[in-house]
Every structure is written in structure tokens, then in C-alpha cells.
Amino acid sequence: MAIHKPNPLVPVLETKRTILRGHTVDDYPDSHAMWSEEIVVKHISGVPSTESESWERLLRYSGLWQMMKYGFWLVEEKSTGHFLGEVGFANYKRDITPSLDDLPEVGWVFAPSAHGKGFASEAVAEAIKWGDANLPENKTVCIFDPEHARSIKTATKNGYTKRGIADYMGGPTLVMERTNPNHAS
């Protein structure tokens, strides 16, 4: 298989243990494998992604950077190059009540092999640092299944506080928000 280069619009970010970079076509198998895991999707959709859904997600990641000037990064372990997960910002124009007010929504998902090792907190912190320096909005939001304790803990560690419970896809959804400390009130 040909090696594809990451999208040049996506900045490369580094933490002590990870590299956040743009997705390539070659990342599809790892991304699809992760999104096919029941433990990964349990608190997201509850349904493992099909090959087509995973492919569409990969294309959406690239399109976000093109259209919104922000999007998702692939997260890999710096020392091994192993795929860990995905983290970034989006505006999905969700049918959620109350509205997310078109604010950038930070999100993350990690492969089971990366769970419980602090990779999510580390990569999310770096993505938020980038967002603080580059997003024009004063706030960002994130949404979760109210039962998803691990993601709520990661969000809280990174400065997110409860905004409220919203109705999304017929169920309760926790909405958290964070104010960018670099913006004047």
C-alpha cells in the first residue's frame, strides 16, 4: 500500500508520550478497528461502526480541517508509532436541545489498548492548548453519556464544567463547557 502524507492543513502536535497528526488513508484500518470495538462505542452510539461509517468519519475529519480550520487529529504513541486514538474539535450541527450554540465541540476516542494509561488526558490537554491559541470562540463544549465516567473525568481534568443535561437522539446527554482563559470576558 502506498504511504499517504497527512493533510498539510493539520498542525502536528507533540506531548511527552504522543504525537497528534493529520489522518491519512493508511490510518483507516486502525481507526475502523477501534470504532468496531463494543467497549469503545458503548457510551457513544452503542453500536460498532461499519466499514462505510468508519470511512465516512475519516473523510469528515479531513473535511473539518478544510472547511472549519480545525478538526481531529490521529494520536499515536511517540516511542512506537502505534495508533492510540483520535482527538479534536468539530461542529457537527447536532440536533440537540438546548443547542450547542455553534461552539467548537472537543471530542476524543481511544483504542482499548490505550485505556487507563493517561493518553487521553495528555492528548486532550494538548488539543485544548492548540484550541486556546487558535480558535476564535471564547468557549468550547463537549458532550457525553452521563454514565461515561472516564470521559467526564478527562473533561474535568482539562477544565470543563457541567453546563447541563440536553436531549440528544432521544436520550439525556451531559453537556460540559470550558472558557478559554486567553480570551477577555
Give bridge partners of residue 176 from the DSSP assignment. Answer: 142, 162
For 26, the grid coordinates are 493508511
Distance, first Cα to last Cα, the chain: 50
Q: Is 84 in contact with 111 (CB distance < 8 Å)?
A: yes
For the stretch 121-145, pLDDT in tens is 999 999 999 999 999 999 999 999 9
Higher pLDDT, 6 or 10: 10
Is the model's pLDDT at 184 over the cut of 80? no
pLDDT of residue 2: 55
CA–CA separation, 38 and 44 (whole Å): 10
**pTM of the full predicted structure?**
0.93
For the stretch 21-53, pLDDT in tens is 999 999 999 999 998 988 887 878 768 899 999
Please list, residue by residue across 4-33, b when 16 or more beta carbons sit within 10 angstroms of its beta carbon and e when fewer do: eebbeebeebebebbbbbbbbeebbebbbe
Q: Show the CA angle centred on residue 154, arms to residues 152 and 160, nearest 5°.
A: 70
